[in-house]
Amino acid sequence: MAKLKLCVFISGRGSNLQSLIEACADDSYPAKIALVISNIDGIQGLERAKAAGIQTSVINTKGFNSPSSVDTSIIEAIKSFNVDLICLAGYMRILSDKFVDHWQDRMINIHPSLLPSFKGLDVQQRAIDAGVRFSGCTVHYVRREMDTGPIILQAAVPVMNNDSAETLAERILKQEHKIYPLAVKLIAQGRITIKNECVLIDGAINPGSILINPEA
Ligand code: GRF
């Protein structure tokens, strides 16, 4: 079966990109990365892509007169790669409504909280300040409003007594690296449907082992 073609959008370290690169290195994984796009040059994520032999493109906002014209240029850059799915992985730029609508149900994001709690930035510190016992991460389809959209997978981690934003972020990140490749795999296998803006996996809200053990 043909592999699902991914385009990964990054702005920094690229550890989630790395987790996708490693998943795709397995011949039996049903997706491959066709292109990596960054809005910032010189970042670590671009080095990771190059080391894996993946084509990269830096599209920043310089020389464009509107965010929407940047997005038009991204759509053009992607066109020839026949991309099936866009994976936002720490892409720190707001995409225009036009772009989001164009990629409706074909663009996903990873966020380091249990959405719909703690959208936006600085989420680990905000989780600690709110006194929640659990935080985690969420992979979701992208909708116009930031950090909203049908939830595909989540993983929860405990918040410990002496956590700093950094230690909590580290605990969450380990789970991000498991659920992002798993979510992509489920999509590539055709096991995801969206009904009333909720994701069903194998036709169910909770298909058992997948949600209880992200490694299953
Ligand atoms: C991750 O925590 C991701 O959830 C958030 O931005 C961070 C990106 O980290 N959207 P990395 O660049 O993948 O290492």
Q: What is the pLDDT of residues 66-89, one digit of tens each?
A: 888 899 999 999 999 999 999 999
Task: Give 64's pLDDT tier (boundaries 50, 70, 90).
Answer: confident
CA–CA distance from 21 to each of 28, 35, 51, 198 (Å)? 13, 11, 10, 28
Q: Is the CB of residue 55 less than 8 Å from the CB of residue 47?
A: no
Taking the centre of ligand 1 as the mean of its atom positions, its distance from the CA of residue 81, in whole angstroms, is 24
Q: Is the CB of residue 20 less than 8 Å from the CB of residue 67?
A: no
Confidence check: pLDDT of 23 > 50 = yes
Domain locations in the chain as residue ranges: 1-103, 109-216
Which CATH homologous superfamily contains domain 109-216?
Formyl transferase, N-terminal domain (3.40.50.170)
Closest C-alpha to ligand 1, atom 12: 14
Three-state SS annotation for 157-190: EECCCCCCHHHHHHHHHHHHHHHHHHHHHHHHCC
Show the beta-strand stretches assigned E in the chain.
4-10, 31-38, 56-58, 85-88, 107-111, 134-141, 151-158, 192-195, 198-201
Q: Is the CB of 7 under 6 A from ligand 1?
A: no
* Segment 42-51, tens digit of pLDDT: 999 999 999 9
Q: Give pTM, 2 decimals.
A: 0.96
| Separation of alpha carbons 45 and 68, rounded Å | 24
Q: Is the CB of 12 under 6 A from ligand 1?
A: yes
Closest C-alpha to ligand 1, atom 10: 90
Taking the centre of ligand 1 as the mean of its atom positions, its distance from the CA of residue 111, in whole angstroms, is 7
Task: Average the pLDDT over 29-54 and give the result.
Answer: 98
Task: Average the pLDDT over 150-167 and give the result.
Answer: 97
Cross-strand bridge partners of residue 16: none
User: What residue has token string 């799915």?
Assistant: 85
Query: What is the set of active-site residues?
Result: 111
User: What residue has token string 């600085």?
Assistant: 122
Domains 1-103 and 109-216 share a fold: yes
Q: Note the CATH number of domain 1-103.
A: 3.40.50.170
Taking the centre of ligand 1 as the mean of its atom positions, its distance from the CA of residue 45, in whole angstroms, is 11
